[in-house]
Copies of this chain bind each other. A is one copy, B any other.
Amino acid sequence: MKRHIDEDLSAVRQTLLTMGGLCEEMIHFAVKLLNSYDEGLMRRLQDDEERVNRLHIELDELCLRTLALHQPAAGDLRVVAAALKINSDLERIGDQAVNIGETSAYLAKQPPMRLGDIPRMAELASGMLKDALDSFTRGDVELANSVIRRDDEEDRLKSQTFNELVALMQADSSTIQRGLDHILVSRNLERIADHATNVAEDVVFMVLGKDIRHGGGHPVA
């Protein structure tokens, strides 16, 4: 039998996935801008951000309405609580993508410099977000755990990028401004991966009712 709450839960899921899809597109645009800056593409990135911001507010409203109208329990309650948290992470992923786009505008005015591990970091972060969203859709704990495990590799690439760029800047001071911009981009990508990891942790919690953050396997009511 279809329950009244199912319609609202389905709207919650759908809005979250629409937002997630936009965030994936934003990362894709941001990396394209880094390779070759283009005003038109930057505007599309900004348009996506506005849509994500609107959905951010809409999704919170939907979650609160679902809680108020249906007073969900157990698994349903955890879906809504997870959606409230994932919502914040997705909105912040969008912000990071816009930051990369803005830095790309500065970089485009300077002589080119090789991107090093940045494309690899972008690919990894983007794959983590995609899989975190898929794990939400399918309630797939194994996939969510694989996202969480990949975050160490992103951190390793970030440190490697940092060290390489510092060495380059020290060897040739004309690269300082560009080097810094690349460091900022690598931090943006690391934060996207962190947010994807948060999403995956929320999915594990949603499915198992277990809070695995901070290294715990703490059961949650």
Contacts and interface: CB of A to CB of B under 8 A. Distances in A.
A74 B69 CA distance: 11
Given A71-B71, A170-B176, A176-B176, A81 B56 contact: no
A84 B61 CA distance: 14
Contacts of A53: 213-214
Nearest to A78: B64
A218 B55 CA distance: 13
B221 A61 contact: yes
Contact of A73 (B68, B73, B180): B68
Interface in A6-60: 53-54, 56-57, 60
A88 interface: yes
A216 B64 contact: no
B173 A177 contact: no
Contact of A173 (B57, B173, B220): B173
A73 B57 CA distance: 19
B77 A68 contact: yes
Nearest to A214: B53
Interface residues of A, number: 36
A69 to B, nearest CB: 9
A85 interface: yes
Interface string A153-171: 0000000000000100110
Contact of A180 (B61, B68, B183): B183
Contacts of A78: 64
Contact of A169 (B60, B68, B173): B173
A64 B166 contact: no
A214 B57 contact: yes
A177 B180 CA distance: 11
Interface of A: 53-54, 56-57, 60-61, 63-65, 67-68, 71, 73-74, 77-78, 81, 84-85, 88, 166, 169-170, 173, 176-177, 180, 183, 187, 211, 213-214, 216, 218, 220-221
Given A84-B85, A169-B176, 15 more contacts: A56-B213, A57-B213, A60-B81, A60-B220, A61-B211, A61-B220, A64-B78, A64-B81, A67-B77, A68-B73, A68-B77, A84-B84, A169-B169, A173-B173, A180-B180
